[in-house]
Amino acid sequence: MQTDPYFPSGARGTRRSGPAMSRVLITGGAGFIGSTLCDALLARGDEVTVVDNLSTGSLDNLGHAWGHASFAFIEGDIRDARLVERAVAGHDAVVHLAARIGLRLVVASPIETIEANARGTEVVLEAATRHGMRTIVASTSEVYGLSTRHPSSESDPITFGSPTRGRWSYACSKAYDEFLALALSRERGLPATVVRFFNTVGPRQSARYGMVLPRFVRQALAGEPLTVYGDGTQTRSFCHVYDVVDALTTLINHPVGIGDVFNIGNPAEITVLDLARTVIARTWSASDITFVPFADVFGEGFEEIYRRVPDITKARAELGFSPSHTLESVIDDIAAAVTGEAALSLALAGQHADGSHV
Ligand SMILES: NC(=O)c1ccc[n+]([C@@H]2O[C@H](COP(=O)([O-])OP(=O)(O)OC[C@H]3O[C@@H](n4cnc5c(N)ncnc54)[C@H](O)[C@@H]3O)[C@@H](O)[C@H]2O)c1
């Protein structure tokens, strides 16, 4: 059974004694990273409001928070300026995570990607600027685009692929978010910090939208072949969501890194093929590995990024960021969460089958 680091006893709706430390608004807080951050903040006594349109997030992710006296949920879209203005008021900080994310979704719907990520961020940052609020903006390693400098540092130049390739709508919209946050910081005094996440992984991450590790773990546990896209020589660097949440909680409370950008990731680099092998070994699975051409998954002309590894020197020095969770531990945590979900579904199916809890 998986233990939750923020609610180890599984308790819900409990409130710590003492005054709340901060009132934090999380956009996209029903998603993978946002809901994990929400748990961490509630556990330390903060007040948290989540705004989410539940497009890729889910209320299930907020199971620990629901009913908590210091938690509020607003279902809505960040492009709704009146809703965002009302949500922002009365908070000390906003962590802006809401975005269209996941290669499958991005490639399938570039318009929604551009509108949610560019217009949505404009609305959030305009409101945060009016309220002079501490603001953390989530960006992505995708903004390094086709850069051939490795590891990637925050000041590296960026080379995007052609706008005729839908995948770049995500990187470009996120780069736009960065420009806007930094400009508002310089010209209008918004205390904003941009964090560029590199492949964040952990329990609650959906396997539906093209994320590799949750898909591999689910395939391994089901005894199905692990589907490696391309030849598997492309590399990624995986950072446990608990390490990412540590960086975010530090930034919320300290006026460090204002008007600046930080890589947040784990520099340990692995090929996707070795990742598949590690997942199989770690889960004691008998699964095979099969190779699937990128074009079969993402369509003709898809451009892959072949290497992605962060230089975290700056985050270490200025934020004290030091990822401590290994790839093996995150595989174990995801496997435990997937097994827990399966057990719960079976139990519920059993209850419904005998009619006792219908
Ligand atoms: N997970 C990663 O590996 C990773 C890597 C780089 C960057 N990021 C960034 O981190 C942030 C969080 O990502 P995540 O992995 O938790 O993804 P996620 O899909 O689990 O979370 C995103 C949340 O935003 C919500 N959302 C989307 N569009 C919205 C809108 N228009 N209005 C309101 N809510 C909206 C979704 O419902 C979801 O709950 C995103 O900004 C993403 O770009 C994540």
pLDDT digits (tens, 9 = 90+) for 31-62: 999 999 999 999 999 999 999 999 999 999 99
Top pLDDT among 9 and 126 is at: 126
The arithmetic mean of pLDDT across residues 166-173, rounded, is: 92
Residue 242 is a catalytic residue: no
Distance CA 199, CA 330 (A): 12
Answer yes or no: is 182 within a domain.
yes
Answer yes or no: is 11 within a domain.
no
- Among residues 170, 176, 242, 306, the one annotated as catalytic is 170
Answer yes or no: is 348 within a domain.
no
The arithmetic mean of pLDDT across residues 93-113, rounded, is: 92
Distance CA 163, CA 109 (A): 14
pLDDT score, position 353: 55
Cβ within 8 Å of residue 145, ≥6 positions away: 158, 159, 160, 161, 168, 171, 305
Answer yes or no: is 355 within a domain.
no
Cβ within 8 Å of residue 35, ≥6 positions away: 29, 50, 57, 61, 62, 65, 204
Cβ within 8 Å of residue 211, ≥6 positions away: 102, 201, 205
Top pLDDT among 19 and 223 is at: 223
266: pLDDT strictly greater than 50: yes
9: pLDDT strictly greater than 60: no
Query: Which protein residues touch ligand 1 with a CB less than 6 Å away?
Result: 28, 30-34, 52-57, 77-79, 97-101, 116, 120, 138, 140, 197, 199-200
Answer yes or no: is 350 within a domain.
no
pLDDT score, position 20: 44
pLDDT score, position 351: 63
Dist. CA 17 → ligand 1 center (Å)? 31
Distance CA 320, CA 307 (A): 26
Answer yes or no: is 349 within a domain.
no
CATH number assigned to the domain comprising residue 161: 3.40.50.720
Answer yes or no: is 13 within a domain.
no
Dist. CA 155 → ligand 1 center (Å)? 24
Cβ within 8 Å of residue 103, ≥6 positions away: 167, 170, 209, 210, 298
16: pLDDT strictly greater than 50: no
Query: What are the helix (H) ranges across 131-271?
Result: 168-188, 212-221, 241-253
In this prediction, residue 3 has a pLDDT band, given cuts at 50, 70 and 90, of low
Dist. CA 313 → ligand 1 center (Å)? 25
The arithmetic mean of pLDDT across residues 81-85, rounded, is: 98
Answer yes or no: is 264 within a domain.
yes
Percent of the chain predicted with pLDDT > 70 = 91
Encoded tokens for 263: 């890589």
17: pLDDT strictly greater than 50: no
Q: What is the CA radius of gyration of the chain?
A: 20
Dist. CA 180 → ligand 1 center (Å)? 18
Tens digit of each residue's pLDDT (9 = 90 or more) over 244-257: 999 999 999 888 99
Domain that holds residue 57: 23-343
Quote the number of domains for the chain: 1
Choose one of 51, 101, 251 to mutate for the ligand 1 pocket test, by most ligand atoms within 8 angstroms of C-beta: 101
Mean pLDDT, all residues of the chain: 91
